[in-house]
Amino acid sequence: MNAPWPPISSLIIVPALGALGCLAPWFSAKFDKNARVCRLWAIAVSVFTLVILAAFAGAATATPGYVLGLEEVHPWIPSLGISFHLKLDGLSFAFTLLTAVVTLAVVAWPSRPATAGAGWYALLLVGEATVMGAFLATDLVLFYVFFEAMLLPVLGALALWGGAARLNAALKFLVYTMVGSALMFLSILYLGWHAQSMGHTLGGNFLFEITTLASLKMLTSSEQLALGLAFLLAFAIKIPMVPFHGWLPDTYREAPHGLAAFTAALLGKVGIYAIIRFMWPLFPDFMAQAGVYLAAAGAIAVVYGALVAMTQKDLRSLLAYSSVSHLGFCVLGVAGVSTMAMTGAVFQAVSHGIVTAALFLTVGVITDRQGARDFDRLGGLAKAVPVSAFFLMVFSVAAVALPLTSSFVGEFLILVGSWKLFPIWTGVAALGVVLGAVYTLTAYLKTMFGPLHPSDAIAGGDVRGSSALVLAALAGLVVALGVVPGGLLEVISPAVQVSSTSSLMADSSILQAFKR
């Protein structure tokens, strides 16, 4: 059904206009005052965006089964069959909700790079607008525009306010992502040309719309293979999947805390989302054949990321490889035709976004206070920063999927749902749960209760005020989704079935129990 007011595009327009509002007083106010005002403005814009999304969610409660299905369509380049087509269903709602929550947490976080002012908040809001667009677009060309545009604020913030090796990290990030997305763009053009060559004009306005292209069933097996690989490469780099993760450690190490939280929480989720939204409908035969290889890649990423994380001495590097491991579970979940596994993958992606953002922000407080990120210079901090120690404990146990946390729900559904399809690779991935607990809890014990090391440069104290409020809100979400996951699962599950493939395995009693 069509959304009357506000339009779905307001989820993109509001943060984009908010970014312009940040820049408006840049030249007329002093730096410190301007930065404080822009932070409050960015918080207000982010809250307003979240309120709009909540209003859309209210429409879901009025329909049986919490089925959310809102669309907005405008001709964009009708002569080429390109439309401005947005869709808000349960699948896109889960990811736009994550985007809104993480952006609000990052802009509300009081710590920012020392030289950053209005431009910092403007880039974060631009990032929110572009990521929202990627999660809402159903026209392939429009999706590609947002898919590329989301790189700009991340690259800008990284190059301006990153660490000593920020330019090398930004260049590596750019090269990796551009290679994959260029091949995807050529594949999108081929799909449109092929549809036209077969006489499918489709009214001239919706040639690249995913539902239309999927309904044509015009691709041969060899075409599905070639185009599917091109799409998969772009999404594998974005997630990132092993061995396409080379950009990730440098980016996470060099990015400011808030940018690292934003990037780790959101960018990889676009790849997970796109596999469900675009690859399963467009290339069902390819996905059915490639499923076992995709499951293997996910399971290997789980174990590989965990093993490499165990060897790290830098907290940021540990979080980087931890993300590789946790996102491997999501890849395993989207590899096969299982409603339970795919629903679990979406739920786990949302959970990971919240948890990893909170971890980067909490670790940022600790490393700023100590002036170090190396375990050799960290230890015995529980007494010095007790509030940070508490929140780090909460998010650490959430990261290892302790029951009653959101990660437990996601990983459990993925493992159970994938077992019948890929028993060997599911067993390999399950090993990652144990390894994850080892490196995460070891890191926590070393930093909080290990030998006390003197601080070389104390740049701040324990979390307090707005910092504690942000972490408390994120911790509350993690626990709430772990204790009462049914509401979000009810929204995700039907959308996953419609968006991916009609041949999904039916819901099991386990998934139904979680929904209740």
Largest CA distance in the chain: 73
Q: Which residue has the tokens 């437990």?
A: 408
Q: Residues 38, 117: contact at Cβ < 8 Å?
A: yes
| Coil, helix or strand at residue 69 | strand
- Tokens at 365, concatenated: 């407080």
Half-sphere exposure of 217 toward its Cβ, with a 13 Å CA cutoff? 3
3-state per-residue secondary structure call for 137-183: ECEHHHHHHHHHHCHHHHHHHHHHHCCCCHHHHHHHHHHHHHHHHHH
- CB-based burial, 340-376: b 16+ in 10 Å, e otherwise: bbbbbbbbbbbbbbbbbbbbbbbbbbbbbbbebbebe
Contacts of 287 (CB under 8 A, 6+ apart): 228, 279, 280, 294, 501
CA angle 97, 121, 252 (to 5 degrees): 75
For residues 294 and 335, the answer to whether their CB atoms sit within 8 Å is yes
Q: Which two tokens stand for residue 231?
A: 């799409």
What are 259-297's pLDDT values in tens digits? 999 999 999 999 999 999 999 999 999 999 999 999 999
Per-residue pLDDT of the chain (516 residues; tens, 9 = 90+): 454 568 899 999 999 999 998 877 654 454 445 677 888 899 999 999 999 998 887 765 555 444 567 888 888 888 788 889 999 988 999 999 999 999 999 999 988 887 777 889 999 999 999 999 999 999 999 999 999 999 999 999 999 998 888 889 889 889 898 888 999 999 999 988 887 776 655 545 567 888 888 877 778 888 899 999 999 999 999 999 988 888 988 888 889 999 999 999 999 999 999 999 999 999 999 999 999 999 999 999 999 999 999 998 888 889 999 999 999 999 999 998 888 999 999 999 999 999 999 999 998 888 777 666 777 677 777 887 888 889 999 999 999 999 999 999 999 999 999 998 999 999 999 998 899 999 998 888 888 887 766 544 444 567 888 899 999 999 999 999 999 998 888 888 888 876 665 445 555 656 665 666
CB 468 within 8 A of CB 387: yes
Residue among 119, 121, 173 nearest 148 (CA):
173
In sequence order, which residues have a C-beta less than 8 Å from that of residue 53 and are 6 or more positions away? 11, 93, 96, 97, 100
Which 8-state DSSP code applies to residue 82? E
- Cα 237 to Cα 18, 368, 457: the distances in Å are 30, 30, 37
R_g of the chain, CA atoms, integer Å: 22
Q: What is the pLDDT of residues 470-506, one digit of tens each?
A: 999 999 999 999 999 988 888 888 888 766 654 455 5
